[in-house]
Amino acid sequence: MVQHFIQQMQSEFEMSLIGELTYFLGLLVKQMKDTIFMSQGKYVKNIVKKFGMDNGGHKRTPAVTHLKLTNDESGISVDQSMYRSMIGSLLYLTASSENSELMGYCDAGWAGSADDRKRTSGGCSFLGNNLASWFNKKQNCVSLPTAKAEYIAAGTCCSQLVWMKQMLKEYNVEQDVLTLYCDNLSAINISKNPIQ
């Protein structure tokens, strides 16, 4: 039966048999008597080496948490293709999760921009355990109460989740419930009020 399948495939496609599968699309495949073991360890080592981080030390938090960033007019531009390649490699690495639940997290910071003291909104969306999108930007409007700033951040994140839900629907991946996590009780109460 296997030989018949091989002959059919070779008659339709140009192919050759090079033996047992061991490595495919970043997955190391080890076939045993009763199981197949797959690992992305080799892929991880390759991307760490590719981006020059193989001699780097390990940090629990890669940046200080209390630092306020400001505009650096004389700074060196970031290589966008290198940055996108890094992010793409990491997204491919984490795209092997079975869970496909869509959820988001949002937050707002008080006067987060040190240059003009505007509030900043931030959020991220996960598809299962995988980070699918994220944002961090200054809010367009000035809002004094914290609840309003948090509500604006939640609205932005919610819009992103609804858009992602629609995109997934086009790929026949249905999302029954969208979960959005917000750490401000007043913003949560505003969102529950149908009059607002």
Whichever domain contains 155, its CATH number is: 3.30.420.10
User: What is the Cα–Cα distance from 146 to 109, expressed in whole angstroms?
Assistant: 9
What's residue 196's pLDDT? 60
What's residue 181's pLDDT? 93
What's residue 7's pLDDT? 85
What's residue 104's pLDDT? 94
Neighbours of 44 (CB within 10 A): 14
User: Any bridge partners for residue 108, and if so which?
Assistant: 121
Q: Which residues of the chain, if any, have pLDDT below 50?
A: none
Domain count for the chain, please give it.
Answer: 1
What's residue 143's pLDDT? 58
- Give the residue numbers spanning the domain of 105: 97-196
Has residue 19 been placed in a domain?
A: no
CB 114 within 8 A of CB 144: no
H helical segments located in 109-172:
146-170
Kindly give the interhelix angle for 185-192 and 146-170, rounded to the nearest 10 degrees.
60
Has residue 185 been placed in a domain?
A: yes
User: What is the Cα–Cα distance from 70 to 120, expressed in whole angstroms?
Assistant: 13
User: What is the Cα–Cα distance from 118 to 110, expressed in whole angstroms?
Assistant: 8
